[in-house]
Each structure stands twice: as structure tokens, then as C-alpha cells.
């Protein structure tokens, strides 16, 4: 199935919280970065079930969540828009903070996406996003989910190196402020223990914080 079909099917079992070890590791890095930015208008690209919308709105910002899956958006309680992350349905310089959690792993054209993010970001604004670490491709890890009927499905991942992230952002006129590579958290979870016995403790994610010059 294509990516859109996968998310439509996944929505029924996709709660609006960090519900697995990878997502908890991601949020433990992303959330503090978001809380440091004083935004007036924030966009969550690839919002899915809206996990980050309460966090973004807690700062007092007006928040919009965008996703291409109506099934995912039906779980959100905040303002939401159905649209394509590659062609954002907003005017230029509409937001001063953009968050995107693990969406670029669904996009082949990283440079095009970065340019589109830059278009709708105000000068002086911030973009914080996460991606699957390049080691996923090196180790042959797969992203899978179990649908409501119990069937297991795989969602393909578009691989991006850290160098490609830097190049894409620079080409879009965005300045990298920090790049972090989160590992699994120290938590009592059988899946985490099993993973570490086999793989050790490699980084699982890339978290990027960039800004647009005033």
C-alpha cells in the first residue's frame, strides 16, 4: 500500500501520545526545544493524531495541525487542515514556529520540503523536526504497525543522511542551530531490553532545530 493508505489504516490504532519507545525518545528531545520558543502562531506538519498540538498550544500560540490523512485528523481536537506537506496550503510567512515529527521519513524530496517550510516561516522563525536516523537503513530496521484487524503492515522510510538535512536547510535559507541524535530512554520496557541486547545503544533519530534569519 502507499503511504496515504497506510496512515488511513493505521489511524484506528494510533493514539495521540508517544506510545512506543522510539516516539518517547523523540519527544523527550523535541518537547524541550519547542517549549523554549515563544511562538505566536505555530504549525504542526504531519500532525497525525495531534500528539504535539497540546504542547504547542500550551505556550499560548495559535496552533494549526496539518496532515494528509482525514482518518488521523479525526482524532485531533485542535484546529486542523487536511493538506500536503510538500505544498502547504498557507500564505508565505504565516508561522513563527513549525514542528514536524517524523514526517520527512515519508518524503523523498527533502530539499523541496525544506523550501516549502521556509516559504511559510516568518523571518526570525524556528523549525524543529525529527527524522529516522541513517542507521535504520544501515541495520535494515523496518517501520511496522498492527491494524485494528490484527494484520501487520510496513510503512516504507525514505532515508536521509545528516549531511542531506544540512544541505537542504541551507539551500532553503534556513540556519541550523542544533542537531541532536537521541537514543532510547533508560526505561523498563521489555522491547527496549531486547533491542539493546541485540543492537547495543545506537542513535535512533535525528532532531533538527533551524531558524530563518530576520
Question: For 69-91, b where at least 16 C-beta lie within 10 A, e where not — what string?
Answer: bebbbebbebebeeeebeebebe
Phi-psi region of 187 (alpha: psi -120 to 50; beta: other; left: phi over 0): beta
Whole-number Å distance between alpha carbons of 207 and 160 = 12
CATH number of residue 130's parent domain: 3.40.50.150
Provide the domain count of the chain.
1
Per-residue cell: 32: 524541550
pTM for this model (two decimals): 0.95
Partners of 80 in the beta sheet?
A: 65
Domain containing 166: what range? 3-212
What tens digit of pLDDT does each residue of 128-170 get? 999 999 999 999 999 999 999 999 999 999 999 999 999 999 9
pLDDT means per 10 residues, the chain with 214 residues, are 89 93 97 95 96 93 95 85 96 98 97 98 98 96 94 94 98 98 94 96 98 95
Amino acid at each position: 500500500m502507499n503511504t496515504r493508505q497506510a496512515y488511513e489504516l493505521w489511524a484506528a490504532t494510533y493514539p495521540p501520545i508517544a506510545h512506543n519507545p522510539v516516539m518517547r525518545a523523540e519527544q523527550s528531545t523535541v518537547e524541550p526545544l519547542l517549549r523554549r520558543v515563544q511562538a505566536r502562531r505555530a504549525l504542526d506538519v504531519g500532525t497525525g493524531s495531534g500528539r504535539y498540538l497540546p504542547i504547542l498550544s500550551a505556550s499560548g500560540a495559535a496552533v494549526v495541525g496539518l496532515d494528509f490523512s482525514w482518518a488521523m485528523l479525526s482524532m485531533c481536537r485542535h484546529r486542523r487542515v487536511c493538506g500536503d506537506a510538500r505544498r502547504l496550503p498557507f500564505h508565505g510567512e504565516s508561522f513563527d514556529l513549525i514542528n514536524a515529527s517524523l514526517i520527512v521519513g515519508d518524503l523523498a524530496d527533502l530539499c523541496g520540503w525544506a523550501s516549502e517550510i521556509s516559504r511559510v516561516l516568518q523571518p526570525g522563525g524556528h523549525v524543529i523536526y525529527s527524522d529516522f536516523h541513517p542507521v535504520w537503513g544501515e541495520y535494515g530496521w523496518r517501520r511496522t504497525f498492527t491494524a485494528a484487524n490484527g494484520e501487520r503492515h510496513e510503512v516504507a522510510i525514505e532515508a536521509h543522511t545528516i549531511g542531506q538535512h544540512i544541505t537542504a536547510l541551507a539551500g532553503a535559507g534556513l540556519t541550523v542551530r542544533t542537531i541532536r541524535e537521541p537514543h532510547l530512554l533508560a526505561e523498563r520496557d521489555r522491547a527496549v531490553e531486547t533491542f539493546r541486547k541485540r543492537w547495543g545503544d545506537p542513535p535512533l533519530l535525528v532532531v533538527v532545530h533551524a531558524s530563518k534569519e530576520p
